[in-house]
Chain A
Amino acid sequence: MKRRVRSISLLFVLATVGLVAIAGCGGGGSSSSSGGGSSSFASGANAACTSANKQIAALGTPEQDEVLSYLESTEGVIEKLHKEVAALDPSGAAETAYAEGLATAVPILTDMTNAARNENFDAVRELSDELIQIHLGELAEKAELTACAEVPTAES
Chain B
Amino acid sequence: MKEKDLGLKFWAAVAVSAIGMGVAIAFVAGFFLGHFTGHHTTTTVVAGAPAAEEATLEETETAANGIKLAPEFTSDELNAEAGDNWITNGGSLTNDRYSSLDEINTENVKELKGDWMTKIGQNATAAKFSAEGTALEYEGTIYISDGADDVYAIEAATGHRLWTYEPHLPPDPLGEVVCCGWDNRGVAIGDGMVFVSQLNGAQVALDQESGKVKWSTPVVKPKSGFSITSAPLYYNGRVYVGGSGGEYGVRGRLTALDAKTGKVDWRFYTTPSPSETGGDTWPNNGSYKTGGASLWNTPTVDPKLGMLYFSTSNASPWVGNARKGENLFTASIVALDAETGEYKWHYQQVHHDLWDFDSPSPTVLFNGEMNGEMREGVGEPSKTGWVYLLDRKTGKPIYPIPEVKVPQDPSQNTWPTQPEPTMEPFSPIEATPEAVEKTEEAVSGDKPKPKIVGSKIFTPMSSDPTSINLVANSASGGDNWPPSSFDPEKDMYFVCSQAGALGLVVPPKPQKLVAGQSFIGSDTVVSSGFNTTGFLTAYDMKTGKIAWQNEFEGESCYSGAVTTAGGLVFVGHNNGDFVAYNAENGEELWSFQTGAGANTTATVFEDEGEEKVAIYAGGNSLAATSHGENFWVFSLNGTVEPAKGEEAEAEGTTHAGEESAEEGGEEAEGAEEGAEPEEGGEEAEGEEGGEEAAAGAAPNAEEGKEVFAENCSTCHGATGHGGNGGPDLRTMPLAKTQEGAEQQVTNGGGGMPPFKGVLSEEEISNVAAYVVEDIVGGK
Contacts and interface: CB of A to CB of B under 8 A. Distances in A.
Contacts of A133: 24
B3 A4 contact: yes
Interface stretch (B26-34, B177-185, B270-278): B26-34
6 closest A-B pairs by CB = A115-B168, A12-B11, A120-B170, A8-B7, A123-B168, A15-B12
Contacts of B58: 100, 103-104
A114 B36 contact: no
A111 interface: yes
A113 B168 CA distance: 10
B423 interface: no
19 contacts: A4-B7, A7-B7, A20-B19, A61-B8, A107-B40, A107-B57, A117-B213, A118-B202, A119-B170, A119-B200, A120-B169, A120-B170, A122-B31, A122-B170, A126-B28, A126-B32, A129-B26, A130-B36, A151-B16
Contacts of B80: none
A137 B8 CA distance: 22
Given A7-B4, A15-B15, A126-B27, A114 B168 contact: yes
B212 A11 contact: no
A55 interface: no
Given A26-B22, A107-B57, A122 B15 contact: no
Contacts of B16: 15, 19, 151
B39 interface: yes
A138 interface: yes
A34 to B, nearest CB: 20
B36 A135 contact: no
A124 to B, nearest CB: 8
Interface of A: 4, 7-9, 11-13, 15-16, 19-20, 26-28, 61, 64, 100, 103-104, 107-108, 110-111, 113-115, 117-120, 122-130, 132-133, 135, 137-138, 151
Given A28-B21, A126-B28, A126-B33, 7 more contacts: A7-B4, A11-B11, A20-B19, A119-B170, A126-B30, A129-B26, A129-B27
A12 B27 contact: yes
A137 B19 CA distance: 8
B222 to A, nearest CB: 10
A85 to B, nearest CB: 13
Given A7-B4, A118-B169, A126 B213 contact: no
A128 B36 CA distance: 13
A132 B11 contact: no
Give the residue among A7, A108, A123, A130 with the most B Cβ atoms within 10 A.
Answer: A123
A65 B161 CA distance: 34
B15 A130 contact: no
A125 B27 contact: yes
A135 B170 CA distance: 27
Contacts of A13: 27
Best-buried of B14, B36, B216 by chain A (most CB within 10 Å): B36
B40 to A, nearest CB: 6
B54 to A, nearest CB: 14
A135 B57 contact: no
Interface of B: 3-4, 7-8, 10-12, 14-16, 18-22, 24-28, 30-33, 36, 39-40, 57-58, 61, 165-171, 198, 200, 202, 212-213, 216
**Of A4, A122, A135, which is in contact with the most chain B CB atoms at under 10 Å from its CB?**
A122
Contact of A16 (B15, B170, B202, B216): B15
Contacts of A120: 168-171
A20 B28 contact: no
Contacts of A132: 18, 24-25
B8 A11 contact: yes
A125 B200 contact: no
Given A15-B11, A15-B15, A20-B15, A28 B167 contact: no
B4 to A, nearest CB: 5
B6 to A, nearest CB: 8
A29 to B, nearest CB: 9
Nearest to A116: B168
A77 to B, nearest CB: 14
A123 B26 CA distance: 13
Given A7-B3, A107-B57, A123 B15 contact: no
B218 to A, nearest CB: 10
B63 to A, nearest CB: 14
A129 B165 CA distance: 19
Contacts of B169: 118, 120
A118 B168 contact: yes
Nearest to A17: B15
Contacts of A126: 27-28, 30, 32-33, 36
Contacts of A115: 167-168
Nearest to B58: A103
Contacts of B24: 129, 132-133, 135
B216 A117 contact: yes
Contact of A129 (B14, B28, B202, B213): B28
A28 B61 CA distance: 30
Contacts of B10: 8
Nearest to A128: B27
A35 to B, nearest CB: 19
B167 A114 contact: yes
A28 B20 contact: yes
A61 to B, nearest CB: 7
B32 A123 contact: yes
Contacts of B14: 12, 15
Nearest to A108: B39
B357 to A, nearest CB: 33
Contacts of B170: 118-120, 122-123
Question: Which of A19, A107, A113 is the most central at the interface, judged by chain B CB atoms within 10 Å of its CB?
Answer: A107
Contacts of B7: 4, 7-8, 11-12
Contact of A19 (B19, B33, B166): B19
A8 B28 contact: no
Contact of A15 (B8, B28, B31, B167): B8
B206 to A, nearest CB: 10
Nearest to A5: B7
A117 B30 contact: no
B690 to A, nearest CB: 31
Contacts of A138: 22
Nearest to B10: A8
Nearest to A134: B24
A16 B13 CA distance: 10
Contacts of B18: 132
Q: Name, among B21, B24, B36, B171, the residue most crowded by chain A CB atoms within 10 Å (CB to CB).
A: B24
B19 A26 contact: yes
A142 to B, nearest CB: 11
Contact of B213 (A7, A15, A114, A135): A114
A53 to B, nearest CB: 14
A130 B32 CA distance: 12
Contact of B168 (A7, A8, A111, A137): A111
A73 to B, nearest CB: 14
Nearest to B59: A103
B165 A114 contact: yes
